[in-house]
Amino acid sequence: MTGLMTAPVNLLDFDPAQLVAYCDSLGEKPFRAKQLQRWIHQFGASQFDQMTDLAKSLREKLATRAVVVAPSVISDHTSTDGTRKWLLDVGQGNAVETVFIPEENRGTLCISTQAGCAVNCRFCSTGKQGFSRNLTVAEIIGQLWMAEFELRRTKGIEPGPKGERQITNVVMMGMGEPLLNFEPTVTALKMMLDDNAYGLSRRRVTLSTSGVVPMIDRLAQECPVALAVSLHASNDALRDDLVPLNRKHPLRALMAACVRYLDYAPRDFVTFEYCMLDGVNDTDEHARELVALVQHGGPGGMAVPCKFNLIPFNPFPESGLLRSKNPRIKAFSQILFDAGIVTTVRKTRGDDIDAACGQLAGEVQDRTNVQERMQKMAGYKKKFGDDFGRIVEIST
C-alpha cells in the first residue's frame, strides 16, 4: 500500500530562517536557501530548472516537492495618473487588490493582508464587504513578487540585482488589518527586509494599523518597521463611532503604545492618518483636540512624536459621509501646522480605477462576479475536460 502524496510546499510561504530549515530537511546546506531566495525574490524565477547554479539533484527534489506560486491576476488596470491596480484571486471567490503608486523618486506598493476586513470603519468601503479570511504568507509576499517582476516586464527591465528596482517602498495599507493577521504579515515583512530577497530598508516599509494595541507591542519586538496609525478622530466618543476597535483599545492606550513602539522603530515618529469627513471630524475644535492629544496624550502627559497625513475622503454610497471641502482641510491642517506638527495632505491617486485610499475591493463582487465565474468554469471543465480555458501554444 503506497502512502498518500503530500501537497507540494509553496516556497513563497517561507521567511529566510524557515527556508534554511526547509533546505536542511532536504539534506541541503544553508547557503542553498540563500541561492533559492535570490532566484525567487531577486530574479522572479518560478521554475526550478531556471535556477542554474543549484545542483541538479536539488532541482529534481524541489520539482516534486515544492512550487513558487503567487495569487493569479484577475484584472490589471492603469490609471491616467500612472497608478496601477491588480485584482488578485485568492480562492473560494475571494479577491484582494494590490496598488502601485509611481512617483518621481520612488515607487510605492500598497499590499493587502486580509480578504475583506473585520474592523469595519465607517468611512472605508473595503470594510463594508465584510471579512472573509486572513491571507497566507505566499499571498502577501506574492503581491510584491508579482508586482515587481510584472513592472519590470512592462518596462523591459531585466530581473536580478542589476535591473532597476521598481518598488522602493511598501505600505501595508491595502485590504485588511495587518496586526489581526500577525504571523503571516511578519513573516512576509522579514522577507521584504532580507538582503537576499528585496533588501528594503525598515524605514521604507510601513505598516498601517487601526490600533491593535497588544500587537503593536509585539511588532516592536519581532519586526519593527515604520508605523502608521489610522486615527481619524480626536476623542474617544467620536472614534468609537468611526473606528469600532477604539472601544477595545481607546486613545490613551493607543497613544501609550505608540510611544513604546518608538523605542524600537526605524523612524523617530509615528504617522497618524486622518480621513477628512465633512462636518464629522473636521472642525477647528477637532484640530485643537488633536493637538492636545498628541502633545499631552502619552504616558504621564508626555508628547507623542508624530506627523499627520490628512486624507480627503473617497465617498461611497453606503457610508452616508462626504469629503471635507478643500478650504476646510486647509484650515484644519493650518491649526496642526501652527502647533509645530508636520502635516501633509495626501494627494488622491487612482480615483478613476477605484484604487484610492479606502476604496479597495469595495465593489469586487459586483465588478468581477468571481464566485459566479468560478462556478461556471467548473461546469465547463466538467463538460469539456480539465484543459478548458487554458492558454496553449500552438506551433506552426
Active site residues: 97, 357
* DSSP per-residue codes, 318-349: GG---BPPHHHHHHHHHHHHHTT-EEEEPPP-
CA dist 170 and 163 (Å) reads 19
Question: What are the cell numbers at 254?
Answer: 493607543
Which residues lie across from 334 on neighbouring strands? none
Burial class (CB in 10 A: 0-12, 13-18, 19+), 389: exposed
Please list the residues that pair with 229 across neighbouring strands: 209, 272
Whether the Cβ atoms of residue 146 and residue 73 lie closer than 8 Å to each other: yes
CA gap 384, 273 in Å, rounded: 51
Question: How distant, in Å, are the alpha carbons of 16, 216, 271, 274, 318 from that of 232?
Answer: 36, 18, 12, 4, 18
CB-based burial label for 381 (10 Å; 0-12, 13-18, 19+):
middle
How would DSSP label each residue in 245-270? GGGTS-HHHHHHHHHHHTTT-SSSSE
